[in-house]
C-alpha cells in the first residue's frame, strides 16, 4: 500500500508551489492514475515520493519511507521520464544492459531473458542501445523497473513514445499486474488513458489535487461519449434523431455529434430514411477538469451571527494613571470611549436591544484586562 501525505514543493520563494499538500492512498490490487497537464506536478510528486529531491510531506510504502526499505529495488519498481539518448551505455546491447543490472540487484540472468520476451525486445536483444527508437528505449526502461520482481510500480507516463500496438500491450500488462496483489501508480495526461487503466483517478491542476474519484465517477463526470456523423443530409438526420430523444450539436460544416443514441441505432435510422452517410464513428469527448480551489474549508465556514446588545463606556488610560498615582484624578471626558457589548447569539430575530448604559469609569482589577495605550515617540499611530 502507498500512503501519500502532505507532499509540498516550492522551487523558489515567492512563487507558486509546484505541489501543494498532496495526499491520497493507493491500495493493493488496484491501479491509480495521477492525471494532469504537463505542469500539473505529476513528476514532482513521484520524485518527492522517492525522496529524489527535498520537500515537505511523507510517503510510506508498506509503512516505510523509500529510503528505509531494505531492498527498494525488490519492493518498488520505478519508471521516470525518459532522458536524452539511450537509457544506458549507447554501445551496450539490450541483453548486456539487463544482465548487468540483474546482477546488481541480485536477480538471476534468466530474469533478463524473461523480460526481453515480456517487453517484446527479444528480437532486438543484441542491438546496440544507440540504435533504439524512443518506444524501444521506453520498453527497456520498463524491463529495468521489473527486474527485481517488485510488488509496487511507480510509472511516470509509461506509454510515452509507444506505438498504438505497444501501448495496448502495456495497458493489458498494467491491468493484469494487480491481480496478484500488486500496486500500481501511473501518471498520464490523457483522461481516456486513465479511464482505460485505472480503478481510481487523482486529478491534479496547478500542483493541487482537485479530485480523487473512483473510475465510475470519473467516467461519468469527465468523459462524454457521442457519435460523430457526416454526410450531405445532416439537417434531416438531426431532426430524426431529436425525435428519438437524442441530443444533437453541430460538428463542423457537414457533420453532427449525437448523444443519447448509439452508433447502430443511428445507422439503422439513416438506412430506413434513405440518408447517405460518409462517416459514423464512436468517440469520447473530454470534459474540463475542475479547477483548484483557492479557499480552504476553514475559511469558507460561516461565522456565527453577532448581536449588538448595548454599549458600555470604559475609561482607558485613567485607571493606569490611578494605579501608578493613587491620588491622581479621574480621566476627563476625552479619555472615555464607548465599547460595544456583543454576544454570539443566533441570527434569529430577538426582542428590543437593552438601553445604552450611561458613561461610567471603571477602576480596580477589571482594568487589567484592558490594553495599555500605544503612545510614545517610537510608536507609529498611522
Show the domain range for 356.
Answer: 303-369
Tell whether 251 and 321 lie within a shared domain: no
29 and 98 in a single domain? The answer is yes
- Cα of first residue to Cα of last residue in the chain, in angstroms, is 57
What are the pLDDT digits (tens) for 182-206? Answer: 999 999 999 999 999 999 999 999 9
Q: Coil, helix or strand for 368?
A: helix
The single-letter DSSP state of residue 370 is: S
- Predicted structure pTM score: 0.68
Q: Are 149 and 74 in contact (CB under 8 A)?
A: yes
144, 98 in Cβ contact below 8 A? yes
- Residue after which a domain boundary falls, among 151, 176, 206: 206
Q: CA–CA separation, 139 vs 145, rounded Å?
A: 10
Domain count across the chain: 3
Residue 292 falls within a domain, yes or no? Answer: no
Decide if 380 is inside a domain.
Answer: no
Convert the pLDDT of each residue in 1-35 to its tens digit: 999 999 999 998 888 899 999 999 999 999 999 99
Both 76 and 168 in a single domain? yes
Q: Which of 72, 74, 77, 116 is nearest to 94 (CA)?
A: 116
Judge if 241 and 315 occupy the same domain: no
- Answer yes or no: is 11 within a domain: yes
b vs e for 272-281, b when ≥16 Cβ sit within 10 Å of the residue's Cβ? Answer: eeebebeebe
* CATH number of 135's domain: 3.40.50.300
The answer to the question of residue 219 being in a domain is no
What value does the mean pLDDT of the chain take?
A: 79
For 21-25, 50-54, 234-238, 306-310, which range has the lowest pLDDT when averaged over its residues? 306-310
Shared domain check, 131 and 54: yes
Domain identity same for 196 and 77:
yes
Is 293 a member of any domain?
no
**Of the candidates 291, 290, 306, which has an alpha carbon nearest to the alpha carbon of residue 344?**
306
97 domain-assigned: yes
| Cβ-contact 222, 289 below 8 angstroms | yes
Residue 376 lies in a domain: no
Q: Does residue 200 sit in the same domain as residue 250? A: no
- Confidence at residue 92, expressed as pLDDT on a 0 to 100 scale: 92
Amino acid at each position: 500500500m502507498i500512503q501519500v501525505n502532505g507532499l509540498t514543493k516550492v522551487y523558489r520563494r515567492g512563487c507558486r508551489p509546484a505541489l501543494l499538500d498532496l495526499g491520497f492512498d493507493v491500495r493493493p490490487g488496484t491501479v491509480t492514475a495521477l492525471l494532469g497537464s504537463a505542469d500539473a506536478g505529476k513528476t514532482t510528486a513521484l520524485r518527492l515520493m522517492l525522496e529524489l529531491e527535498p520537500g515537505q510531506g511523507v510517503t510510506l510504502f508498506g509503512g516505510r519511507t523509500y529510503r528505509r526499505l531494505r531492498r527498494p529495488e525488490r519492493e518498488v519498481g520505478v519508471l521516470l521520464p525518459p532522458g536524452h539518448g539511450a537509457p544506458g551505455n549507447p554501445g551496450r546491447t539490450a541483453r548486456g544492459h539487463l544482465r548487468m543490472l540483474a546482477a546488481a540487484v541480485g536477480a538471476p540472468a534468466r530474469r533478463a531473458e524473461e523480460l526481453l520476451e515480456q517487453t517484446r525486445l527479444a528480437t532486438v536483444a543484441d542491438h546496440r542501445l544507440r540504435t533504439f527508437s524512443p518506444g524501444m528505449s521506453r520498453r527497456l526502461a520498463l524491463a529495468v523497473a521489473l527486474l527485481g520482481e517488485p510488488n509496487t510500480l511507480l510509472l511516470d507516463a509509461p506509454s510515452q513514445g509507444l506505438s498504438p500496438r505497444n501501448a495496448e500491450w502495456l495497458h493489458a500488462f498494467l491491468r493484469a499486474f494487480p491481480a496478484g496483489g500488486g500496486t500500481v501508480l501511473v501518471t498520464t495526461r490523457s483522461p481516456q488513458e486513465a479511464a482505460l487503466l485505472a480503478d481510481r483517478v487523482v486529478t491534479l491542476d496547478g500542483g493541487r489535487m482537485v479530485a480523487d474519484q473512483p473510475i465510475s465517477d470519473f467516467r461519468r463526470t469527465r468523459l462524454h461519449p457521442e457519435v460523430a456523423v457526416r454526410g450531405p443530409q445532416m439537417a434531416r438526420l438531426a431532426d430524426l434523431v431529436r425525435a428519438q430523444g437524442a441530443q444533437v450539436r453541430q460538428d463542423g460544416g457537414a457533420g453532427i455529434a449525437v448523444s443519447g443514441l448509439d452508433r447502430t441505432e443511428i445507422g439503422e435510422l439513416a438506412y430506413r430514411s434513405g440518408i447517405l452517410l460518409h462517416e459514423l464513428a464512436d468517440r469520447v469527448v473530454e470534459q474540463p477538469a475542475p479547477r483548484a480551489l483557492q479557499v480552504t474549508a476553514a475559511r469558507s465556514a460561516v461565522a456565527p451571527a453577532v448581536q449588538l446588545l448595548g454599549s458600555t463606556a470604559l475609561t482607558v488610560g485613567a485607571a493606569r494613571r490611578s494605579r501608578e498615582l493613587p491620588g491622581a484624578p479621574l480621566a476627563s471626558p476625552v479619555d472615555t470611549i464607548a465599547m460595544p457589548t456583543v454576544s454570539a447569539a443566533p441570527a434569529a430575530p430577538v426582542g428590543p436591544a437593552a438601553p445604552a448604559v450611561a458613561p461610567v469609569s471603571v477602576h480596580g482589577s477589571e482594568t487589567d484586562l484592558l490594553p495599555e495605550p500605544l503612545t510614545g515617540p517610537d510608536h507609529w499611530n498611522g
